[in-house]
Amino acid sequence: MKLKINKQDALDYHEQGQAGKIEVVPTKPMNSQLDLALAYSPGVAEPCKEIARKKEDVYKYTAKGNLVGVISNGTAVLGLGNIGPDASKPVMEGKGVLFKKFAGIDVFDIEVDANDPDEFIKVVKALEPTFGGINLEDIKAPESFKIEKELKEKLNIPVMHDDQHGTAIISAAALLNALELVKKKVDKIKLVMNGAGAAAISCAKLYKSLGVKPENIIMCDSKGVIRDDRGGLDEYKQEFATKQNVNTLSEALKGADVFVGLSVANVLEPEDLDKMAKQPIVFALANPNPEISYDVATKARKDIIMATGRSDHPNQVNNVLGFPYIFRGALDVRATKINEEMKLAAVSAIANLAKEPVPEIVLKAYGDRTLRFGKNYLIPKPLDPRLIYTISPAVAKAAMKSGVAHKKITNWEAYENELKSRVGSDQKIVSNAIARAKQDPKRVVFAEADHYKILKAAEIVSAEGIAKPILLGHREKINELVSQYDIDLNGCTIIDPSEPKQRKVVDKYAEFFYERRKRKGLTFKECRKQMLSRNYFGTMMLELGETDAFISGLTKDYATSLRPGLQIVGVAEGYKKVCGMFIISSKKGDFFFADTTVQVDPTAEEMVEIIDLTSQGVRIFTEQEPRIGVLSYSNFGSSNGKVPEKARKAVALAKERFPDLVIDGDIQANMAVNP
């Protein structure tokens, strides 16, 4: 099931809270008059004077070395065309988010109101002092070729038009691996391309660098095969004009080993594939829909090796596999450009990584333990954590070897370790939990399903294969919300406890509950009434094994949500209490706090139970052993009083009961989080 994104969801995502997707965050403290004086006047004058004396010191005293400009004029935005600079801004912000998430690179997005290439070049050139690199984005061809070429010549920082080179680099890596699988040599293949825009021209150029012979490349545009006897060709198409006597895409495909599409949907028919050579390689990269659908193509040719631009099929050619890491490597050696050697290094790094054993974290993230090098795994997955410390060093080494690096890296092991830590935690707890859940999706009851947020969560959970939602609520209200917000509840079960057909179930639950609570003042009538409450109904489902998990609390207070669990499920065997735990993820790591919801003033003995339960929770979420600090206003006996004395006693008891546990206290919070 594909995740469904509707218009209002997308608009709300961008509008709610702080508008947009990015913000500027200070990297230095700004908490005192001294901080302000150092950050601005008069302290800021000192680095200014140093940079004025030695220009290269701008990398030492400012963020330039980790700052990329994502710059566009909005003339060729995604599948939207020439929508202008203002309308392109959400895309540019999105690109900045990807730079940050995958490579720890900061971005300013710059939207330039200039359709004239010379004017655009002039504006971008003037911005060179600001940035360590320039990522050109969504600029229409053929102007994009001129813009990139001149900026690369005029600027002393790396410049790359990702629409051209990103697709070229990723598809080239996939092509090398596909050819290896079918045992064909790159200099012998016949390659047909459909599309002659910026990405297609760049792909063809890079394929030539890999060894594909120019005379074996046939390129088609909307008018058919680009032949050398066709008039009016620009210099970029002219480079790939063929002398072969073919006129149509269908004719060109006869005997072809490879098809690369960067055009529009549904231009290929199954019979076109039949004309291709044995074990054809088909990269149908048009977005959002490919030149021929994956299902149709693989049905037509069982021996096909196929890639698309879509995430719901194998071998997604996704630019995010390349540009963050290419710029990371270029920035880290202060490269003056991104040259052919650096691009080829990225191609080789990506291709070779796909042949390595896939780590468990990737297998979990994609819910597929069969991932290994082969026709359905030509290139790594976008969430593979190895990408940054595989591609970036390869690019950096190529920059140094080709003489465009101003900074040398000598300790590559240290550099790779730095790359591994550069992007921070980025909610790894959530990502890992989702990955584990996908391995064995459980039944999950949502008790407040007549609310939009719950229904939307259930839609996502079901679509992504995280769990099997069971929705408790008034069916009429749920259906109304589904219709109003265009929510897809395929894969979800709806139960309305108030419906007559649930009467026998309610009676069964009430009888079970009555047996548990009849000595605690409840009558059967009261038990049955409570079973009509979705919190009680859902918790009883959990107790009777009719679901695996229960979620509530959106509209109820904590005590109301927790009480049915205590009355029906009870505490775990061997324990007397339950506790609540909060998780805070930050760049400094993940912190677990307990008890933050239930026990107001626990005894030392009860604190030991809380420590034990929280430790189990940490192990579940992180698969690591916890380090525990028992907090107080005192540090290791520096102050006396009830709270620190109780903390010290709890630590002693915990060490006695759990000798392998890493625990200390009493300790103040600031010291506990200091590594």
Same domain, 219 and 294: yes
Same domain, 140 and 18: yes
> Are residues 195 and 291 in contact, defined by beta-carbon separation less than 8 angstroms?
no
Give the CA radius of gyration of the chain.
30
In a domain, 39, yes or no: no
The predicted pLDDT at position 120 comes to 98
d(CA 516, CA 509) in angstroms, rounded, equals 11
Same domain, 283 and 338: no
CATH code of the domain containing 142:
3.40.50.10380
Domain limits at 274? Answer: 164-313
Residue ending a domain, choose from 286, 313, 340: 313
CATH code of the domain containing 638:
3.40.50.10750
In a domain, 513, yes or no: yes
Active-site entry in 64, 95, 190, 343: 95
Q: What is the mean pLDDT of residues 16-40?
A: 93
In a domain, 435, yes or no: no
The predicted pLDDT at position 427 comes to 59
Q: What is the mean pLDDT of residues 73-86?
A: 92
Which residues have C-beta within 8 Å of that of residue 515, sequence separation ≥ 6? none
Same domain, 417 and 522: no
In a domain, 2, yes or no: no
Number of domains the chain is built from: 5
CATH code of the domain containing 496:
3.40.50.10950
Pick the closest to residue 462 from 2, 12, 8, 13 (CA basis): 2
Same domain, 170 and 307: yes
Known catalytic membership, residue 61: no
In a domain, 525, yes or no: yes
Two structure tokens written together for 546: 């009719």
Strands 224-225 and 191-194: unpaired
Same domain, 412 and 449: no
In a domain, 36, yes or no: no
Q: Work out the mean pLDDT of the chain and round it to a whole number.
A: 93
Q: What is the mean pLDDT of residues 44-65?
A: 97
pTM of the model: 0.73
What is the biggest distance separating any 2 CA atoms in the chain, rounded to whole angstroms?
A: 96
> Are residues 617 and 652 in contact, defined by beta-carbon separation less than 8 angstroms?
no
Active-site entry in 40, 61, 558, 575: 40
In a domain, 151, yes or no: yes
Instruction: Give the pLDDT confidence of 297-313 residue by residue, as tens digits.
Output: 999 999 999 999 998 89
Residue ending a domain, choose from 395, 423, 451: 423
Same domain, 68 and 113: yes
The predicted pLDDT at position 425 comes to 43
Same domain, 76 and 201: no
Least confident of 28-37, 53-62, 159-168, 358-367: 358-367
The predicted pLDDT at position 380 comes to 96
Known catalytic membership, residue 40: yes
Same domain, 184 and 298: yes
Instruction: Give the pLDDT confidence of 480-515 residue by residue, as tens digits.
Output: 999 998 888 999 999 999 999 999 999 999 999 999
In a domain, 431, yes or no: no
Instruction: Give the pLDDT confidence of 413-428 residue by residue, as tens digits.
Output: 899 988 987 755 445 6
Q: What is the mean pLDDT of residues 281-292?
A: 94
Same domain, 259 and 234: yes
> Are residues 535 and 513 in contact, defined by beta-carbon separation less than 8 angstroms?
no
> Are residues 191 and 258 in contact, defined by beta-carbon separation less than 8 angstroms?
yes
The predicted pLDDT at position 585 comes to 81
DSSP string, 408-462: ----HHHHHHHHHHHT--SSHHHHHHHHHHHHSPEEEEETTTTSHHHHHHHHHHH
Strands 258-261 and 224-225: unpaired
d(CA 578, CA 667) in angstroms, rounded, equals 24
CA dihedral 484, 487, 491, 497 (to 10 degrees): -40
Residue ending a domain, choose from 313, 342, 371: 313
CATH code of the domain containing 366:
3.40.50.720
d(CA 541, CA 556) in angstroms, rounded, equals 19
Same domain, 471 and 543: yes
Same domain, 153 and 169: no
